[in-house]
Structure 1
Amino acid sequence: MTTFPERLRQLRLLAGMSMPEFAQRVHYDRTSLHHFESGRRPTPGDVAEKADEVLGANGELVSLWRREDLDRRAAAAAHRTRAAALAMSRDLTALADLDISELQEGVEATAFDYLGNPPAPMMNRAHALRGEAFERLRSGHFRPTDRTDLYVAAGRLSGVLAYALLDLGDAEEAHEHAIAAGRCAEFAGDSELAAWVAGTRSLISRFQGDYGRALEHIQDGYQWVGAGHGTGEARLRCGEAQCLANLGDSRAANSALDEAEAARERIRRPDSLEGLFGFSRAKQSYYAGSSLIWLQGGHDAERAAREATAAIELWQAGPETERSLDDERLAHIYLATARVQLDDVEGAADAIQPILSLPEEEQISWIVKRADRLAGMLGAPRYARNRTAAETVAAINALAA
């Protein structure tokens, strides 16, 4: 789509108007107008209106300017939220009147709503809720019995922020929020939250491609899991499998996945909070599929395809409140990847189909990264004459664009 600066220059040249003449007509200095045309500086609204009039654009330039001005304002607002949220995470690491039960209800609702909503609005909500907990902790306006619950609430909301920033593609900010979540878990003495944070810090390191550090976080997390207490161990075992698969160790990765299955069988007490903080059967299959696609195909790819298919089917058949849409979409990409490894291009194209019409705001960073890898595999020389492969690559590239 043509931008305002590009259209401004096009219309001026079509009118046969030199920059000095244009500057004289719109009553503005030509150096600034040159910056406006090149996009180096945003154009003031009154200059856009005058340029529209002088160039006979019939409102086209004004309309373009207004659309881009709205985008700039939205980006600035998101930046302010991120900066404020990051500053608060740093304060919580160094470390109101809202009723604690209402705050806890907000945390629980956010944990479940995160599964089916884009990360940006969830980031805004988590930041606002955490502000309430933070103010109470900082001011000391709470009952002694509420202190632990406030730290747990602040820790979980920091965890939501970590996930949101990772889904938005910023691993460094996500890591700082995860550190804050870990400190809150420490202050609260909450081993379940501490294990979840260790798994999340490992996830962030895996996103950055640092599998050695990711394994260290997993090993740290094992100290917090108790036999039969929630899904923490199963999640950590699956994270370990992802690390080992990326490091090329098929046998150890499959063993870790088998140990995750055993850990699930030992569960005697459910997670205290599910949603983003739980690890469902579907999520476990999803992790298994996302692990084994990094190996060399064969039996690993066959198991990856089975696990990804199971995850998709479980989410589609289960309650809407437990359906993790982003993960379900990623499972389609993992299934397609496994099928390419099994040389099933038609099956891969069928698996990726639901992803190819996603609106931009729903294309989280993981989807873009994993779809790009799939496009690279389908673009290999062996598929140079495969029409389905070429069409799928083009569709993936169009999605990224």
Structure 2
Amino acid sequence: MTFGTELRRHRQDAGLTLAELSSRILMHRTHIHHVETGRRAPTAELAEAADTALHANGALVAEFLREHSQRQEQAATRKTLAASLATSRDLMALADLEIDQLHAGVEETAVDYLAQAPGPMLLRADTLRRDALQRLQDYRHGPHERADLYVAAGRLSGILAYAALDLGDADAALEHARAAGRCAQYAGDTELLMWVRGTQSLIARFNGDYGIALDYVRDGLQYAGDVPGSGEARLVCGEVQCLANLGDSRGANRTLHLAEQARERIHRPDSLAGLFEFSETKQRYYAASSLIWLDGGDDARTAATEAEAAIASWKQMAPEQRSLDDERLCHIYLATAQVQLGEVEAAAEAMAPVLALPAEAQISWINKRAHRVSSMLSAPRFQHSHAATDLREAITALGT
């Protein structure tokens, strides 16, 4: 629902043409048409006049206020994204990073990111990183604290990369990731560098560049060995996603077994939780999100099983431990596998929590993957399925 569609509905319900409404509210009918079709944003004056003329009882004014608030929030997010990019460029340009101290907020932000919208997390991470950069530029640090703040700046840049990607800006995400990688190299932190390579691979996969994504994975895997955390398992799971998207079922399934072996080799926990931890639940999520790109059959059945297991695991966790965006995406992956298996009613049930999300919770990944389900439902075999038509229409309305 948008202000434009609501305005058109109320106008049509009142039996008025554009010209008739134009004469009542003293605004040109072309302008009203542009507002109805979304080509122009409404004004408070138009909303109030149309609400009165169409006897909408405040509904049009309320919709205008909701959209106006949303536009202001989106503008603020875009401004923060632009400012955070400038800081990434500053980090990239510095030959030496001198750092005063680790910021206590880094760990909290990494954990909070799992359950928060990307916009506020973008702002918080950018604020923390600006403070780190200011301390750097003012040389307010001890001689032995350099590597620690390299790591802090790198982690914050990594959080910004995730936020930018969740907001649909892959170019900004890649630039933040490069800054994170540079910081990891300066700090000599192999664990962080492996995480960055996994994130760069994720961004490449978002863009559909699976060959480049594989290069990032293989570069990261050269550092595997006596490194704490789950970085190797995460990278190998990224390789599974690449192989599946390239249509290699045998290679994808073989590499899934290698990912399980990599998890068994974890002997020390990740240095930081939240966004920087690759849990067993997340590994199941990766398996599901990979196998749905193959041709159905056994791969689809395995994907559905893994997705159901991941969702069940998340539901048992404390709220602060759940990765809400991943959990929502897992519902889409489950629905995708079920559509591949011809189980449309089950797919609709899996999609229900996603379809009920408010627009601000629908990150770029959700819209991208949900509309693939819609496209699959357009196949000839679903032509006479009312359930397929209903689900396809519900997905089309996502984000409106």
The TM-score, its normalising length taken from structure 2, stands at 0.87
CA drift of 1:52 comes to: 8.1
Equivalent position of 2:108 in the other structure: 109
Asked whether the 8 Å contact 1:36–1:42 carries over to 2, the reply is no
Equivalent residue letter for 1:278: E
Match for 1:365: what amino acid?
S
Aligned partner letter, 1:2: F
Work out the CA distance in 2 between the residues paired with 1:338 and 1:278: 26
Residue 154 (structure 1) shift: 0.7
Counterpart AA for 1:350:
E
Deviations, residues 159-204 of structure 1 (Å, cap 9, x unaligned): 1111011111111111111011101101111100000000000000
Distance 1:154 1:224 in 2: 21
What is the distance in 1 between the residues matched to 2:163 and 2:225? 28
CA contact (8 A) 1:4 1:68 kept: no
In 2, Cα distance between equivalents of 1:59 and 1:387: 35
Spell out, residue by residue over 1:52-86, the C-alpha distance to the aligned partner (whole angstroms, 9 max, x if none): 89989999687776555544433332222111101
Change (3 A) 1:135 1:52: same
Whether the 8 Å CA contact 1:6–1:37 is kept in 2: the answer is: no
CA distance in 2, matches of 1:64, 1:395: 21
Cα 1:151–1:381 change in 2 (3 A) is: same
SS in 2 for 1:166: helix
Contact 1:178/1:201, CA 8 A, preserved across alignment: yes
Paired with 1:237 and 1:246, the residues of 2 have a C-alpha distance of 14
1:274-289 alignment runs, 5 A limit:
274-289=273-288
CA distance in 2, matches of 1:376, 1:337: 10
The within-5 A match list for 1:102-181 is 103=103, 105-181=104-180
Q: Distance in 1 between matches of 2:338 and 2:147?
A: 48
Instruction: Please give the alpha-carbon distance, in whole angstroms, between the structure 2 residues aligned to 1:232 and 1:310.
Output: 22
Given residue 391 of structure 1, which amino acid in structure 2 is its aligned partner? D
Q: Does 1:2 align with 2:3?
A: yes
Deviations, residues 319-361 of structure 1 (Å, cap 9, x unaligned): 3322111111111111111122222222222222221101111
In structure 2, the CA distance between the partners of 1:334 and 1:18, relative to structure 1 (3 Å rule), is: closer
Aligned to 1:358: 357
CA distance in 1, matches of 2:326, 2:245: 19
Compared CA separation, residues 17 and 341, structure 1 to 2 (3 A)? closer
Gaps of 5+ in 1: 24-29
What stretches of structure 2 of length at least 5 have no aligned partner?
Answer: none
Partners of 1:352 and 1:55 in 2: how far apart?
Answer: 39
Q: Displacement of 1:318 after TM fit? A: 2.5
Aligned counterpart, 2:248: 249
Q: Judging changes above 3 Å, is the alpha-carbon distance between structure 1 residues 278 and 68 closer, same or farther for their aligned structure 2 residues?
A: closer
Distance 1:51 1:182, change over 3 A: same
Preserved contact between residue 246 and residue 291 of structure 1 (Cα < 8 Å) = yes
**Could you tell me which amino acid in structure 2 is paired with residue 234 of structure 1?**
A
**Partners of 1:331 and 1:197 in 2: CA distance:** 23
Distance 2:327 2:188 in 1: 33
Say whether residues 1:14 and 2:20 are aligned partners: yes
Q: Decide whether aligned partners of structure 1 residues 58 and 315 sit closer, same or farther in structure 2, where only a CA change above 3 A counts.
A: closer
Measured after TM superposition, the shift of residue 210 of structure 1 is: 0.4
2:101: which partner in 1? 100
What is the letter of the counterpart of residue 113 of structure 1?
Answer: D
Q: CA deviation at 1:286?
A: 0.3
Residues 342 and 156 of structure 1: CA distance in aligned 2, closer, same or farther (over 3 Å)? same
| Identity of matched residues, % | 54
RMSD: 3.1
Counterparts of 1:331 and 1:169 in 2: how far apart (Å)?
Answer: 18
> Which structure has the larger Rg over C-alpha atoms?
1
> Per the alignment, do residues 41 and 343 of structure 1 end up closer, same or farther by CA in structure 2, a change over 3 Å counting?
closer
SS at match of 1:385: coil
Contact between 2:100 and 2:135, CA under 8 Å: does it hold in 1?
A: no
SS of equivalent residue, structure 1 residue 144: coil
CA contact under 8 A between 2:118 and 2:166: conserved in structure 1? Answer: yes
**Counterpart residue number, 2:307:** 308
1:142/1:44 CA distance change after superposition, 3 Å = same
Hey, what's the Cα distance between the residues in 2 that align with 1:367 and 1:374?
11
Hey, what's the Cα distance between the residues in 1 that align with 2:267 and 2:174? 31
Q: Counterpart of 1:218 in 2: which secondary structure?
A: helix
Whether 2:391 is the aligned partner of 1:392: answer: yes
Stretch moving more, 332-341 or 68-77? 68-77
C-alpha contact 1:159 1:177 (8 A) present in aligned 2: yes
Question: In structure 2, do the counterparts of structure 1 residues 247 and 36 end up closer, same or farther at CA, with 3 Å as the change threshold?
Answer: same
AA aligned to 1:292 is: L
Amino acid in structure 1 at the alignment position of 2:20: L
Distance of 1:377 and 1:53 partners within structure 2: 40
**In 2: Cα distance, 1:391 partner to 1:194 partner:** 45
- The one-letter code matched in structure 2 to 1:298 is G
Q: How does 1:133-282 map to 2 (within 5 A)?
A: 133-227=132-226, 229-282=228-281
Give the corresponding residue for 2:377: 378
| Structure ranking higher in helix proportion | 1
Rounded to whole Å, the distance in 2 between the matches of 1:389 and 1:49 is 37
- Equivalent residue letter for 1:121: P
Structure 1 residues 5 and 281, CA gap change in structure 2 (3 angstroms): closer
